[in-house]
Structure 1
């Protein structure tokens, strides 16, 4: 059955109206609750930050409580209210919804109660659609802290089936929620299975890497990283010269202290190298850098000397966890002179090549977003979002006119 015929059957001839949130519900601003107010037991309470960190898209119980005395002074949500976190550090999370299905609950500031007569889970699914997220963007204010005001929230449109017939409307909403709940459950189950498989493969990869890289060959040579590698810092580049456009024939990847930073129109290196981040909390991260690329002064670029396989070097440096050697300062860093003195055991080049080939296969299966399970997990999530949006993509009046 096609999506169109399914919706036609579901709607049974009724029209869907795109209505501003403020037209069919009331926004109530929270306030007066801070994290320091939480107690071991008492009145159920939700802090806006928990909507991002503790909850999914629905809940009927809280993780935290406040005293009964404080609760009398706080705004409270009731069953079927929609809770919205109206402050965030990024555009994607601001106005994250939580369908409240439990009894009375106290709420903090930087969140809103939306009180209405619709199916709260239906509204939650509507808010997560691409359509709503796109509409929301024009109302976001702030630089470091992103906000959407109460007045602007009232303007955002959502599709409501036959709003003049509440009983029929709720029945249609409930059926859409049932379908999406089932799809959500199946997607979550599959994602959990894939994640479990991914973790198992990571453990398997780490086990074999340990076995392959810690075993000494009878012809192994003891030396330092400086003996095996030529290590040099990259070149300075202005931050505004590093762009986020995609790579093409004349655009080259740029590596910095935390790995790939973006792309640039010039290159500083051409060949097979390993890049070590040497500044910031993630210093010591290891990246392969092949072909033409640019390396900033916050990256150490390593080339292999005679008798050393650069792919083996990548796996060995990753295994060594260079982050443990960072300076203990406000801005952690790795000194090239320090890591150059680290001891290393180098097997014959043929053995290096064999080890690198085995670990490359594990690495592709475990970590590659294209070949491995992470890509599969991402595709399942995108598939879910596609069908959710499709199920809620009712035509607007302007679409019909066109």
Structure 2
């Protein structure tokens, strides 16, 4: 018998109590931070920590719940913090271990509680009615202890993955054909990207009764992201754009984060919005895999960052874009195909370790979700 089973058998053999969230916590609105100075207190928005200020509004611990936008992003904080008005914070009563509440709410699909017609949103009145299990504190602490072990392992794997990524990028810069070495080889030609990349534009009119798989591009050159398929009736736009395997696609809004990818064969039927330009590459002159390495180079990204245009908005820079004309006019140093091929081969051996770490991280996250859901499925006491 597990320790949790022993505790439940001892402390609540007839099942655990459940109660509305409003009886267990006070849900509060965030506040404006703009009058504060720079400091060490984190300010949380729906995307995470936005900046740091010199005053704290709340002591922690607390669970931060999105009020608008991405309703599935919860945050647990155990130190002084500040929140903006797109997040609720919680003042947690003595019947709940704060992190137990965080783990429980992360299983509740809060986005399904959205009743708004426009921007997804949650209200205090809806959240207050959410029924929450309240097992004895000893049971809550044991569940938190076990789940914390999983999250600690995930944090260690993430740190290892970031270290390997930095190692790969540093190694890449030492090779012939790298952006930093572009002036050191007589075989290097300076060209505009438009000379080897042609934009591919195939508009698709959105039909209400047709299902579409929208694609995105992950940061740091980690590939294409396939979103959950949707009926056209649930898509705001009226036009989407086709992609083709082997073509380059990038996110105009997050190029400075290395948001470039090559479309894989399994996503040939995916579609993108106009924020994701698609380009066919002249493979007789440039290898897509080499171009990805070049575009992810720190030196290259700094050059791109100097070109992005628009108005920065918050911490996401969501209004800053690198448009198609800028992409096509961007100058690169292009080595010979043989040099490109050797660079891709050598870096590929290093990247294989990253791929293994990503696979392990994915497996650990699935394992965590399985045990989290299993541990937090508690039998309610019969009254």
TM more than 0.5: yes
Q: 1:315 to 1:83 in 2, by over 3 A?
A: closer
Q: 1:145 to 1:226 in 2, by over 3 A?
A: closer
Task: Quote the offset at 1:20 in angstroms.
Answer: 2.8
1:178 is aligned, of 122, 132, 142, to 142
Give the secondary structure class of the aligned counterpart of 2:132: strand
Question: 1:18·1:157 contact (CA, 8 Å) conserved in 2?
Answer: no
Task: Quote the offset at 1:336 in angstroms.
Answer: 4.0
Please list every run of 5 or more consecutive structure 1 residues that lacks an aligned counterpart in the other structure.
55-61, 67-75, 162-168, 246-252
Counterpart of 1:127? 104
2:172 paired with 1:209: yes
Question: 2:26·2:91 contact (CA, 8 Å) conserved in 1?
Answer: yes
Give the secondary structure class of the aligned counterpart of 2:247: strand
Give the TM-score of the pair, scaled to structure 1.
0.63
Task: Quote the offset at 1:391 in angstroms.
Answer: 2.0
RMSD, matched Cα: 4.9
Counterpart of 2:290? 312
Question: 2:115·2:122 contact (CA, 8 Å) conserved in 1?
Answer: yes
Question: 1:38·1:64 contact (CA, 8 Å) conserved in 2?
Answer: yes
Counterpart of 1:69? none
1:260-299 aligned at under 5 Å gives the runs 272-277=246-251, 279-282=252-255, 285-291=259-265, 292=268, 298-299=276-277
Please list every run of 5 or more consecutive structure 2 residues that lacks an aligned counterpart in the other structure.
233-239, 312-319
Give the TM-score of the pair, scaled to structure 2.
0.66
Q: Count residues with an aligned counterpart.
A: 342
Question: 2:154·2:361 contact (CA, 8 Å) conserved in 1?
Answer: yes
Counterpart of 2:305? 324
Cα distance between partner residues in 1 of 2:244 and 2:44:
49
**Bigger Rg, which one:** 1
2:65 paired with 1:91: no
Question: 1:34·1:108 contact (CA, 8 Å) conserved in 2?
Answer: yes
Counterpart of 2:33? 35
Task: Quote the offset at 1:35 in angstroms.
Answer: 2.6
1:343-382 aligned at under 5 Å gives the runs 343-347=332-336, 349-366=337-354, 371-382=355-366
Using CA pairs under 8 Å that are at least 6 residues apart, name the structure with larger relative contact order, 1 or 2: 2
Q: 1:225 to 1:305 in 2, by over 3 A?
A: farther
Counterpart of 2:13? 14
Cα distance between partner residues in 2 of 1:64 and 1:129:
28
Task: Quote the offset at 1:210 in angstroms.
Answer: 0.8
